[in-house]
């Protein structure tokens, strides 16, 4: 049902028909990148966190991870990821399809600077097999972002590893 909510939400900008639905799973950065034929860094993953007054979503490039020190410095509290049940309850989207669109009131969205190296990125659209290609300006507008932050760091720059855990891939 979540993808239908996102489709209705994106119709406000006439972008509902631009959602890409695939037969393959896009529930992880690696799977999403393979399904879309792009580098993992261009997958805009949504990291669901418990905020001071509710859920917070940080959208970051797929090759990045949350930097706890930077996060605490920006937000003033320790980053705590939501478990799958909490993520669904707080965002209305299941893990693997969490996205910054069609969120309940009070959920705050922030965009990490790690995505600024790209013209376009691919966030999820509410399901584990969907995505949409957006410019950064479109992502900022459609997500109703509170702003840009610098709270991430490279996953493992020496090894170039990719996060294989389910995520809220902004596809």
For residues 161 and 145, what is the distance between their CA atoms, to the nearest angstrom?
28
Q: What letter would DSSP give residue 163?
A: -
Give Rg (Cα) of the chain: 14
Q: Which of 14, 61, 18, 44 is nearest to 169 (CA)?
A: 44
CATH superfamily of 2-123+142-170: YbaK/aminoacyl-tRNA synthetase-associated domain (3.90.960.10)
The pLDDT assigned to 1 comes to 59
Q: Which helix (H) or strand (E) holds 122?
A: strand 120-123
For residues 55 and 80, what is the distance between their CA atoms, to the nearest angstrom?
10
pLDDT score of 72 more than 50: yes
For residues 161 and 166, what is the distance between their CA atoms, to the nearest angstrom?
15
- Residues 73-127: pLDDT tens digits? 999 999 999 999 999 999 999 999 999 999 999 999 999 999 999 999 999 999 9
Is the CB of residue 125 less than 8 Å from the CB of residue 19? yes
Average pLDDT, the chain: 91
- Residues 19-29: pLDDT tens digits? 999 999 999 99
For residues 39 and 42, what is the distance between their CA atoms, to the nearest angstrom?
6
Domain boundaries, the chain: 2-123+142-170
92, two tokens: 């209305």
Q: Which of 125, 112, 119, 113 is nearest to 169 (CA)?
A: 125
Runs of H (alpha helix) within the chain: 2-10, 29-36, 68-75, 84-91, 136-142
Q: Which of 55, 132, 135 is nearest to 95 (CA)?
A: 55
């Amino acid at each position: 049902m979540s993808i239908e909510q996102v489709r209705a939400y994106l119709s406000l900008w006439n972008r509902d028909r631009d959602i890409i639905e695939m037969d393959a799973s896009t529930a992880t950065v690696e799977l999403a990148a393979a399904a879309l034929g792009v580098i993992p860094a261009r997958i805009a993953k949504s990291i669901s966190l418990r905020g001071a007054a509710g859920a917070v979503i940080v959208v970051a490039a797929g090759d990045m991870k949350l930097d706890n020190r930077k996060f605490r410095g920006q937000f003033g509290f320790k980053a705590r990821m939501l478990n799958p049940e909490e993520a669904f309850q707080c965002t209305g989207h299941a893990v693997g399809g969490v996205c910054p669109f069609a969120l309940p009131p009070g959920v705050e969205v922030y965009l990490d600077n790690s995505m600024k190296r790209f013209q376009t990125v691919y966030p999820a659209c509410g399901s584990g097999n969907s995505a949409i290609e957006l410019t950064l300006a479109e992502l900022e507008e459609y997500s109703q972002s509170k702003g840009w932050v610098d709270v991430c760091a490279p996953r493992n720059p020496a090894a170039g590893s990719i996060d294989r855990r389910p995520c809220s891939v902004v596809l």
